[in-house]
Amino acid sequence: MPITATEKIWMDGDLLPWGEARVHVLTHSLHYGGGVFEGIRAYPTERGVSVFRLRDHIRRLLASARVLMMNVPYSADQLVSATKQVVRENGLDQGCYIRPIIFLGYGEMGLNPLPCGVTVAIAAWPWGTYLGDEGVKSGIRVKVSSWQRHDPNAMPTAAKITGMYVNSSLAKAEAIKAGYDEAILLAPDGKVSECTGENVFAVKSGRLVTPPISQAGALSGITLDSVQMIARDLGYDVAFEAMVRSDLYLADEAFLTGTAAEVVPIREVDDRVVGDGLPGPVTTRIQAEYFAAVRGEIDRYKDWLDLVD
Ligand code: PMP
């Protein structure tokens, strides 16, 4: 999924030309992984391009920074308007992916992060669905990883910290090399946690189940939250319940959720066909509602949209 360069990147209050948003090789977070970030999407709607649940993403970004005790010199309101500015100034009317990152910059070395200066950047570019159009349509094949999700006393799993994604990258590479599309990670207690950059749901007898976020060491996904609301509005029960890998093998349907991936059916887990191997009726219905909601086609979910203009 190559990055398509756009014109400008917001960095510490300025809109810089894309190629000039650079960092020094001795940037603290590059060495120690102590940055926090978000993945956000904007979609075209009838009323113009709109950022999906922007305030919720900025809230989670600042919460991640708080976990790392970073002093962020911008308020949530400032980051919301900076994000809209990036979408607007790059002319991304047809929608885009937005990547804000807060990191510790150049000037200090050593493991104490506290004296380090904090840099904030926001980039945006057009980006197709993360697991591919075919994955969204027909489903993907996943593998339970040999890599384990973080123990919450080794890494604060509620925060979206750059260094934590080494774990996700190891699992992703393992899955791809073994011929799968995505990995499922288990928590240290052996229960299902989440995917490398997505939450996971199983559907059994018309009921949706997803792992309990904190106990499972999963990220509190904003897509997960949107999907659970959509599912409840459609009349389905949604439960946060511990699950083991065989719960996924024996589900009627399974799917994953994430901002980049959106809503993607899972057709196989560890070479076991889930259900009849096709996107199931519950998944398909929820997926269609989600795609309509993000594009502003459902009145009830209008509050989730933050118009750029
Ligand atoms: N889990 C992990 C590890 C992630 O990186 C993401 C993507 N941010 C998610 C779940 C899904 O979160 P969201 O729906 O907010 O994008």
| Residues 60, 116 share a domain | yes
What amino acid occupies position 159?
Answer: A
Q: How many domains does the chain have?
A: 2
| Residues 270, 181 share a domain | yes
What is the residue range of 109's domain? 8-125
Mean pLDDT over each residue of the chain, to the nearest integer: 98
Selection from 3, 21, 56 nearest residue 223 by Cα: 56
* Residue 60 CA, closest ligand 1 atom number: 15
The rounded percent of the chain whose pLDDT value lies above 70 is 100
User: In the chain, which ranges are continuous DSSP H helix?
Assistant: 28-32, 54-67, 76-89, 133-138, 165-177, 213-216, 222-233, 245-249, 281-294
Bridge partners for 123 per DSSP: 99
197 lines ligand 1 (CB under 6 A): yes
CA–centroid distance, residue 217 to ligand 1 (Å): 12
pLDDT in tens, 111-163: 999 999 999 999 999 999 999 999 999 999 999 999 999 999 999 999 999 99
pLDDT in tens, 44-70: 999 999 999 999 999 999 999 999 999
pTM of this structure: 0.98
Among residues 125, 159, 193, the one where a domain terminates is: 125
- 172 belongs to the catalytic site: no
| Residues 276, 161 share a domain | yes
What's the CA gap between 190 and 131, in Å, rounded? 26
| Residues 188, 94 share a domain | no
Among residues 86, 101, 125, the one where a domain terminates is: 125
| Residues 205, 73 share a domain | no
Among residues 85, 102, 125, the one where a domain terminates is: 125
Q: Are the C-beta atoms of residues 158 and 219 closer than 8 Å to each other?
A: yes
167 lines ligand 1 (CB under 6 A): no
Average pLDDT of the residues in 13-33: 98
pLDDT in tens, 180-233: 999 999 999 999 999 999 999 999 999 999 999 999 999 999 999 999 999 999
What's the CA gap between 143 and 181, in Å, rounded? 8
SS (HEC) of the chain: CCCCCCCEEEECCEEEEHHHCCCCCCCHHHHHCCCEECCEEEEEECCEEEEECHHHHHHHHHHHHHHCCCCCCCCHHHHHHHHHHHHHHCCCCCCEEEEEEEEECCCCCCCCCCCCCEEEEEEEECCCCCCCHHHHHHCEEEEEEEEECCCCCCCCCCCCEHHHHHHHHHHHHHHHHCCCCEEEEECCCCCEEEECCCEEEEEECCEEEECCHHHHCCCCCHHHHHHHHHHHHCCCEEEECCCCHHHHHCCCEEEEEECCCEEEEEEEECCEECCCCCCCHHHHHHHHHHHHHHCCCCHHHHHHEEECC
CA–centroid distance, residue 49 to ligand 1 (Å): 22
| Residues 265, 142 share a domain | yes
Query: 46: domain CATH number?
Result: 3.30.470.10
| Residues 219, 146 share a domain | yes
The pairing of beta strand 40-45 with beta strand 48-52:
antiparallel
Bridge partners for 124 per DSSP: 98
The pLDDT score that the predictor gives to residue 1 is 81
The pLDDT score that the predictor gives to residue 74 is 98
With tokens 């113009």, the residue in question is 48
Distance of CA 188 to the CA centre of its chain: 22
CA–centroid distance, residue 107 to ligand 1 (Å): 31
